[in-house]
Amino acid sequence: MRSSARFVARCALILYTLFFIDGSKGQRQCTETDYYYEYTECDSTGSRWRVAIPQNPGFCTGLPQPVRGTECTFSCRAGEFLEMSAQECTQCAAGSYSLGSGIRFDQWDTMPAGFRSVATSLGNDPKRDAQPTCNSSSWVPQGNYLESNRDECTVSLIYAVHLKKQGYVSFEYQYPDKSLLFEFFIQNDQCQEMDQSSNTKWLQLTNHGEWGTHTVNLKSGTNILYWRTGGVVMRSSVVKPVLLKNIQIEGVAYTSECFPCKPGSFSRIPGSSTCESCPRDTYSGHGASSCTPCNTTTEYAEEGSSECKNRPPCSKKDYFQIHTPCDHEGKTQVIYKWIEPKICLEGISGAEALPESGEQEECPPCNPGFYNNDTATCSPCPAGTYSDGLKPCSRCPAGTEPILGYEYKWWNVLPSNMKTSCFNVGNTKCDHMNGWEAARDHIHSGAGSSDNDYLILNIHVPGFKLPTSESSQSVTEFGRITFEFETSCMADCEFYFMMDINRESTTVVQSWEKTQKRQTYTHTMLKNAAVSYTWAFQRTNQPSDVRRYVNDVARIFSITVTNAVDGVSSSCRACALSTQLSSSACVPCPPGHYIDTLTSKCLECPRNSYLEPHATPGSDACKACGPASRSDKDHRLCYSDCHFTHTEGNVTLSFDFSPLGSAGSLMNGPKFTSKGTKYFHMFNISLCGGQDRMAVCTDNTTDVSASSSQSEKAEGSSAVKTFICQSTIIPASRQGFHAALSSQSINLADTFLGATVDDNLEGIKARPNLFPQKSKKVPDINFFFRSFEGTSSCESGRSTVVTLRCNPDMSTKGVLSVPSRCPEGTCDGCTFHFFWESSGACPTCTMRDYHLIEGVCKGGQQDMLYVWTEPKLCIGGVTLPDKKTVPCQGMEFWVHLGAGTGIFTAVLLVCLTCYFWKKNKRLEYKYSRLVMSANKECEMPVADSCAVMEGENEGDMEDEIVYTKPSLFGKLKAIASKGNGERYENVQLNSSHSKALVWS
């Protein structure tokens, strides 16, 4: 539709021109300088017309008539342009160039026509204008390149181009700092983003000072190109900006003119497709076909200069000192050299002369693993031999093997496997400068061509080779690099340590800003791969073309690399021997085995211990795992199996943390930077499991070099796989990003120290005061972790404590949180604290956690119900027994029997009481009668007289009455014998006058 509108406008312009010609008779005839040619839009048949457009309508008459133009797909070759009068391709003149069907932007003194720089804030809707805080953020022309913003504001560089055929866009860039996000994408004329893979959308990091090239195919039609930077800048220092230059677009229909060469370049022959840079000490202007030499006596010019500059007087900034190589006598001396290319003048007022060379002195000794065989150089020891650098090479004794690696601590010259270079930020590699220079007991950064140059030192390790007795399956560390350094700066210098694994992408491992005291840094290699270690020093991050801070320097005193496959040996270590008595060959130990010093045999580490990498042979190489932890089968690391027990008094609590899962996640925030940038911190935590159940934090912006298999596992080259890790998340709805961005992943815990209810373990302290006070009887369990990887702020590495608390009111996953007083998860930047409250942290249920409730008996049935003891502080384990209903008959029988027996006993006692009471009354009556009769002179009542049996000794009777109470058995016998007429009671009467037995 837009093409049709353009076609109608063109037609109207043609009619207007013809009408103007007819109505302007008498005016002068138009010449070729009064008009120019253009093509109309292509119609549906693929044809177009060439029309003449007046420079100033109405000034002349007689414009050429429209003629049929070339085919819409027509284009010229590189070095040619379409001459519209003849509609033929013509060579460009000297001093100009053409890409034929392409355009190039390589001059950035100002923003070229068609380019726009648009800034937005992370916290804003991308369709709205930026906040005032981002008004100053933009892409800035710097002559040879464009420089991006250095803050978290999102800045887009936009350019729209219409292609008549399929083509491509290519550009060069520098992207050294992953604190900024850098993406390139394409939209069509409907503002819809075209399909792109992640490796074309997100650009890879580049080495400091080096330029990378990026190429993306374009479709025919309208293509809107976006170069966008932004991110979450949380460092106090200024980040490294993204640099952009040499943008080239192929696929335009034609070019009707050639582009003149920019100042400082030239093209000497017609038909050129590029322009060459002027050599040193020459210059050129705009559209030059050759370069003009400078007056080298008083002037100089850098390569690609547009003018000559006056040579300044020589000063201390224009020379440096080095040590000469050792001569055949083993002597060296300090000499001074001018920095090349020399631009200063000697012998004029204020100029400083080059100092004289120093006296000769003894060369430093050879580095360990090298020897001096009465020559001027140090040579590496042959394979199987070793040397400390002071003595000749010796063969390792039987039962030992050489330890391979590098150990550089003497620096008369740079070792053969180290390379040094200098990169200028805006231009090209400064080959004429030495990046680093040897200085006997150290190496230091060189002068550079300007203060913002990157001074590079590199050492390449093709791989690592473990000692023969160590198994690659049982170690997590294949090698390590250790170096000692210091920096001394007046400006905002920065010292970088970087590495590139398998030549994929260079990443910054650690960096240090401004002056740093002498210190040691160690980095471990966790996989066997080719790696390049790089050190880079930059005196200032600000654009500069002079040497103002030449005295700012970085020094490296020693570099040690262990287990390098092409290394030399400085010593020998014991190895395991073959079981054959006659053999003295070293053999590898199985995973998790150490070398016994007495027998030289491989012995397995004890249960729940791990094998310390590169430890001295002996049982001490096995280190015991911490409390509540166990080792994997290869004794590589210790981990928690999700089970924990705690005994207090006579009560033992058992915990099973499996319901918490192998990994937990926490996204705290949101947080905002000083400019209002919104971001989150994502923490991934793995409490249980070994190497196969680690938490993973990925970087989906700069990690575009991972293979497809790695991408499926979300484990790219910059992914962090450990017990606890952290990454920075930018929401998808912010800044126009179509997906959530994850970057700046860091390792917080790669070693599990143990789990305990105590608040202190191996110097790491839990802080219960950071969390709510516990009110339950179940203790909190603290999981202690540590990462031994040091940083500039945490020299001893980071540590982490995860506190688990039982809360039966929560789900098994519960809630993972950080202290309210430390919303970043850490209060000091080195120790992180997490609080995980859930029912999954409760102990396992046992029989003591429930009790029985007996129901009432209804209809001869009774319910037996088991219930949990409240409050319930357990999970899983035993289950409640099912509810039971049992008959209550047996119980009623015994109740009835007991009741009947009680009633019968009570009735019997009452009856006996009445009976004996009645008998007692009768006896009292008889007794009273006997007493009364005893008072009369042997007179006894007739009816109640007692008969004295004959033969009784009457004289033996006493004047006394004795009542003998029968026993209970006698009474019962008497009662039972009533029916037989044997009703009697015995009463013994004793009197001073007589004794008688009274019967009744």
Residues 72 and 48: beta-carbon distance below 8 Å: yes
- Residue pLDDT, tens place only, 111-164: 988 899 988 765 544 444 444 567 788 899 988 889 998 887 888 999 998 887
679 lies in the same domain as 805: yes
- Residue pLDDT, tens place only, 158-211: 999 888 778 899 999 998 887 788 889 898 877 777 777 666 788 888 887 788
- pLDDT higher than 80, residue 704: no
Q: Which residues 6+ apart lie within 8 Å of 729 measured at CB?
A: 667, 679, 680, 681, 682, 740, 741, 742
DSSP of 446-496, one letter per residue?
Answer: ---SSTT-EEEEEEEE--B---TTS-TTS-S--EEEEEEEEEE-SS--EEE
Residues 791 and 776: beta-carbon distance below 8 Å: no
Q: How far apart are CA 580 and CA 600, in angstroms?
A: 12
Domain stop point among 220, 252, 284: 252
Q: Which long-range contacts (CB under 8 A, 24 or more apart) does 136-141 make?
A: 139/111, 139/227, 139/244, 141/108, 141/109, 141/110, 141/111
Residue 650: inside a domain, yes or no? Answer: yes
- Residue pLDDT, tens place only, 725-752: 988 887 765 445 556 677 778 889 989 9
pLDDT level of residue 891 (50, 70, 90 thresholds): low
Residue 592: inside a domain, yes or no? Answer: no
CATH number at residue 756: 2.70.130.10
Distance of CA 860 to the CA centre of its chain: 68
DSSP E strands in 339-453: the ranges are 361-362, 370-371, 379-380, 385-386, 394-395, 400-408, 418-423, 436-438, 443-445
728 lies in the same domain as 873: no
Domain stop point among 252, 268, 303: 252
Residue 606: inside a domain, yes or no? Answer: no
pLDDT level of residue 970 (50, 70, 90 thresholds): low
DSSP of 576-626, one letter per residue?
Answer: EEPSSTT---EEPPPTTEEE-TTT--EEEPPTTEEEPTTPPSSGGGEEE--
Structural domain for 214, as ranges: 102-120+138-252
pLDDT of residue 359: 85
Q: How far apart are CA 804 and CA 643, in angstroms?
A: 13
DSSP of 214-239, one letter per residue?
Answer: EEEEE-SEEEEEEEEEE----SSSPP
Identity of the amino acid at 600: S
What value does the mean pLDDT of the chain take? 80
Q: How far apart are CA 702 and CA 728, in angstroms?
A: 13
Domain count, the chain: 3
688 lies in the same domain as 831: yes
673 lies in the same domain as 806: yes
- pLDDT higher than 50, residue 37: yes
Half-sphere exposure of residue 895: CA atoms within 13 angstroms, side-chain side:
6
pTM over 0.85, yes/no: no
Identity of the amino acid at 854: E
Residues 549 and 540: beta-carbon distance below 8 Å: yes
- Residue pLDDT, tens place only, 329-372: 888 888 888 888 888 999 888 899 999 888 888 888 899 999 98
CATH number at residue 157: 2.60.120.200
- Residue pLDDT, tens place only, 80-117: 888 888 888 889 999 999 988 888 888 888 898 889 99
Q: b/e map of 181-190 (b: 16 or more CB within 10 Å)?
A: bbbbbbbeee
For residue 172, the cross-strand partners are 213, 245
Q: How far apart are CA 546 and CA 725, in angstroms?
A: 43
112 lies in the same domain as 222: yes
Q: How far is CA 971 from CA 917, 979, 985, in A?
A: 13, 14, 10
869 lies in the same domain as 796: no
- Residue pLDDT, tens place only, 245-290: 999 998 887 777 888 998 999 999 999 989 999 999 999 999 999 9
Residue 379: inside a domain, yes or no? Answer: no
pLDDT of residue 713: 40
Would you call 833 helix, strand, or coil by DSSP? Answer: strand
743 lies in the same domain as 873: no
- Residue pLDDT, tens place only, 217-232: 998 888 999 999 877 6
744 lies in the same domain as 772: yes
861 lies in the same domain as 837: no
Domain stop point among 186, 217, 252: 252
Q: What percent of the chain has pLDDT over 70?
A: 82
797 lies in the same domain as 825: yes
828 lies in the same domain as 880: no
pLDDT of residue 24: 46
Residue 755: closest CA among 629, 940, 901: 629
854 lies in the same domain as 803: no
Q: How far apart are CA 782 and CA 834, in angstroms?
A: 10
Q: How far apart are CA 124 and CA 91, in angstroms?
A: 51
Residue 223: inside a domain, yes or no? Answer: yes
Residue 940: inside a domain, yes or no? Answer: no
Residue 549: inside a domain, yes or no? Answer: no
Residue 687: inside a domain, yes or no? Answer: yes
